[in-house]
Structure 1
Amino acid sequence: MSAPHFSAAFRQELEQLFIWRRDVRHFRTDPVAESVLDGLLHTACLAPSVGLSEPWRFVRVDAPERRAVIRANFAQANAQALTGHNGDDAQRYATLKLAGLDDAPHQIAVFCETDPTQGRGLGRGTMPQTTVWSAVMAIHTFWLAAAAQGIGVGWVSILNPAKAALALSVNPNWQFLAYLCVGYPQEQASTPELERKGWEYRNPARRRWINR
């Protein structure tokens, strides 16, 4: 099988996908079709992984009681985070909606099996954390695949990871990495919400090489 040719038009559309991929915080409540969700998982598993270890573990969180525990976890962590900001920062932080936990129809926790037998340890001898990095690559692949279909993803990072893992009753050897809210966004934008609300701005210096 010969490799495909990616046209200039495709490359331009791919760049638009990168530009319009957002961390979504405001969701519609109508669900995504199960076949579409299954397709996103399939695409996510095309991500590269060290030694072909595929260490990611995607966990659907559908049970209301488990979602309620995660929601309480977020509320506690968010209240603690607010105390770390003062003055204008505290006011800005208080206006941000930092989770889609109330509206997003789908919630997905992502874990990493940090020392899987699959891959037989290849590439992990000196940098064992590469399994975690591989799982993060799968998250990003899932995110881009979702954005390409007009589906929003929001990464809820304001959580106590140990409590989140305990609430989901998974393998105790799995490392909690991400809690994703998934659904159709209420609105779409080509710039981050944090930038639109004045929290932070992209730094042009990050787009330049550091030469040594």
Structure 2
Amino acid sequence: MSISRVIRERRSIKNGYKPDAVPESLVLELLNDAVYAPNHGLREPWRFLFVSTENKEAFIERMLPQFAPDQQAKRRELFSEPAAFLIVIMKQDPRQKQWEEDFGATCALIQNFQLLAWERGLGVVWKTNPHNWDPKVHQVLGVQPGEKIVGFLHLGFFDPAAVPDPRPRTPAEQKFTRFQ
């Protein structure tokens, strides 16, 4: 499959995951390619926390108390949908330029991971929910001071017949200008 085709056909898979376990070996294989994202000075500012299918229920039980009681049922539903999670954590450099380079690199890594996963039939949705910034959630997940959760990646295999339709994109020509 061509790169342009994978880019255009990839979708965020938010629900409808199959119950099949997501093998840790597959996640590592995809990550070992995804880490070739451009990153200034090869700082490789990322690290990963994998929540396997087998450990998902324990993860949910540890996460739920971090939410208000009236939100817990909705959070249980959200966390129960995917088969596994990959939490991408970035070391935060206090220098703005380096922080932005590192954030851009980590985002490029996540996009690489999503494209590689799509090619293998593994659905991914990149979530940036409010709990990504919650200090109580950081404590549960072992996120250290000076680190940032860049995304919760929800993972699961999916039925190709149920892939969402593409949403329209603005042609580049409409956002393109020339320096004169």
Shorter-chain TM range is 0.7 to 0.9
Using the size of structure 2 for normalisation, the TM-score is 0.77
What is the aligned counterpart of 1:202 among 169, 173, 178? 169
Work out whether residues 127 and 151 of structure 2, in 8 Å CA contact, stay in contact via their aligned partners in 1: yes
Q: 1:171 aligns with which of 144, 149, 167?
A: 144
Contact 2:90–2:150 at 8 Å: present in 1 too?
Answer: yes
Q: 2:4 aligns with which of 9, 15, 28?
A: 15
Which structure is larger by alpha-carbon Rg, 1 or 2? 1
CA distance in 1 between counterparts of 2:48 and 2:3 reads: 25
> 1:141 maps to what in 2?
112
- Once the two structures are TM-superposed, the CA of residue 207 in structure 1 deviates from its matched residue by 5.7
- SS class of match (1:101): helix
The Cα shift of 1:206 comes to 6.5
- Residue 35 of structure 1: CA displacement? 2.2
Once the two structures are superposed, what CA deviation does each residue of 1:116-173 show, in whole Å capped at 9, x if it has no partner?
Answer: 9xxxxxxx67453211111111111111110111111011222322223233122222
Q: Is contact 2:132–2:149 with CA below 8 Å preserved after alignment? A: yes
Query: Which of 105, 120, 123 is the matching residue for 2:83?
Result: 105
Gaps of 5+ in 1: 1-9, 80-98, 117-123, 196-200
Structure number having the greater strand percentage: 2
Task: Give the root-mean-square deviation of aligned CA atoms.
Answer: 3.0
Residue type matched to 1:191 in 2?
Answer: D
**Which deviates further from its counterpart, 16-25 or 181-190?**
181-190
1:68 positional shift: 3.7
TM-score by length of 1: 0.66
Point out where structure 2 has 5 or more consecutive residues left out of the alignment: none
The sequence identity of aligned pairs, in percent, is: 25
Residue of structure 1 in register with 2:131 after alignment: 160
| Aligned residue among 25, 31, 34 for 2:14 | 25
